[in-house]
Structure formats: structure tokens, C-alpha cells
């Protein structure tokens, strides 16, 4: 068994795995098809990482698919009952890429809530407001990244809080799972800032920060 299973080998998977290594957590890293990609990333990060490919048994207590929303739904369908009881961390922003002007989930729902309908896992929303480029270091302009977290299951939410804290990040629980609706709109706005060439200061290197009063 491992502490986390991270699915994917792209930039978000790299950032999450780097934070897991910094936290001293053991990681199962699953590539989509090419195990060599997982092996290469594991060697680069030099932590307690085992590798495999999507479809293999999930060994992590926390499962974090570092993929787009549609791929995340496919993972839930593929693993079925094997996810029951696990903490499933949904990091997605379900952007409608056909229009790049809205989200692709029902107006009164969220990716996290849609995934919860399809799985017996305990779905917790987190990391959707952080960019891959900032996760590797865990800071922006000297400030630790805020990880905004929404979940219904107290133990599952706490597990994500503990991971983020151990990784040197600042966990902020914003409420129950339905707050994922607001988090995904925040994540989408953050994406739009970085995709706007007229705002060169925000090019995937910024962070959303909640600053409490002194």
C-alpha cells in the first residue's frame, strides 16, 4: 500500500508528486499507457515512488487523477467498486473547451458532485485553483500556495488537509462538497487570466491567495 495514487504523468501530476515527495509520502504513479513516462518522472523526483499504468490495482489511500474532467469520469467508470471507501481528490476544472466561455457541468452542479454520483469513493475537491508550474515549488512570491478544499466526509477532507500541510502548502477548508461549484468558477477565472495575452503578468505562474486580517 502507498499513501497516494497519482494518475497521469503530465505537469499537474509532476507538481503533485513533487509535493508528495516533499511531504515524505509514498506514491503510486500510474501512466495512462506508457509506463516509461512514469518511470522517468519517478527517477527525476527521487522519492518513495512505485510506477505502473492505468488499470492496475490502486494502492493509495488517496487517489488523485491529474487529468481533465472527461478522463476523470472514465477513470471512475473503469475502476468501479475498487474506488469504494477511498478518498478521491478531484482537481479538475470542467471547462467547456469548445467555447472556452463556460463550464461543461450543469449550472447547479460541479465536477466533484457529478463524480460523486458515479462512485463509492469519498470525493474531495482540492488543487483545482493551483497551477502545475507553482506546485513543484509550493510557493509563489514567497507565499505558500493556498489549497482550497471542499468535502462532505470529515475524515476524507482531513486526509487532504494533512497531505497539503505536510507538503508545505496552506490548506483552507471552504465547506461541504457543494462549494466545489464556487471553486470551479474560481479555477476557471484563474485560467482565463493566464490565457489572456493582454495580461502578461499572469502566465500560469500566479496563485489565488486568501489573506486573513492581521
Round to whole Å and give the CA distance between 163 and 171.
9
Q: What are the pLDDT digits (tens) for 89-110?
A: 999 999 999 999 999 999 999 9
Q: What are the pLDDT digits (tens) for 10-25?
A: 999 999 999 999 999 9
pLDDT band, very low/low/confident/very high, at 122 (cuts 50, 70, 90): very high
Round to whole Å and give the CA distance between 83 and 213.
40
Round to whole Å and give the CA distance between 110 and 125.
10
Residue with cell string 489565488: 208
Cα 77 → chain centroid: 18
Look at residue 214 in the predicted model and tell me its pLDDT. Answer: 79
Look at residue 48 in the predicted model and tell me its pLDDT. Answer: 97
Q: What are the pLDDT digits (tens) for 143-178?
A: 999 999 999 999 999 999 999 999 999 999 999 999
pLDDT band, very low/low/confident/very high, at 39 (cuts 50, 70, 90): very high
Q: Does the structure show a pLDDT above 90 at 31?
A: yes
Round to whole Å and give the CA distance between 157 and 154.
5
Amino acid at each position: 500500500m502507498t499513501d497516494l495514487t497519482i494518475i497521469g504523468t503530465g505537469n499537474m501530476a509532476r507538481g503533485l508528486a513533487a509535493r508528495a515527495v516533499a511531504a515524505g509520502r509514498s506514491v503510486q504513479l500510474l501512466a495512462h499507457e506508457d509506463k516509461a513516462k512514469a518511470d522517468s518522472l519517478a527517477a527525476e523526483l527521487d522519492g518513495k515512488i512505485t510506477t505502473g499504468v492505468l488499470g492496475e490495482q490502486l494502492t493509495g489511500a488517496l487517489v488523485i487523477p491529474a487529468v481533465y474532467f472527461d478522463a476523470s469520469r472514465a477513470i471512475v467508470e473503469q475502476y468501479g467498486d475498487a474506488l469504494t471507501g477511498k478518498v478521491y481528490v478531484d482537481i479538475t476544472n470542467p471547462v467547456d473547451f469548445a467555447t472556452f466561455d463556460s463550464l461543461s457541468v450543469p449550472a447547479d452542479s460541479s465536477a466533484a458532485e457529478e463524480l460523486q454520483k458515479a462512485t463509492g469513493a469519498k470525493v474531495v475537491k482540492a488543487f483545482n485553483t493551483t497551477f502545475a508550474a507553482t506546485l513543484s515549488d509550493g510557493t509563489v512570491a514567497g507565499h505558500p500556495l493556498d489549497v482550497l478544499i471542499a468535502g462532505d466526509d470529515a475524515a476524507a477532507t482531513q486526509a487532504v488537509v494533512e497531505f497539503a500541510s505536510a507538503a508545505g502548502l496552506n490548506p483552507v477548508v471552504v465547506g461541504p462538497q457543494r462549494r466545489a461549484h464556487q471553486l470551479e468558477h474560481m479555477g476557471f477565472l484563474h485560467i482565463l487570466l493566464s490565457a489572456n495575452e493582454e495580461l502578461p503578468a499572469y502566465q500560469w505562474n500566479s496563485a489565488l491567495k486568501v489573506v486573513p486580517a492581521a
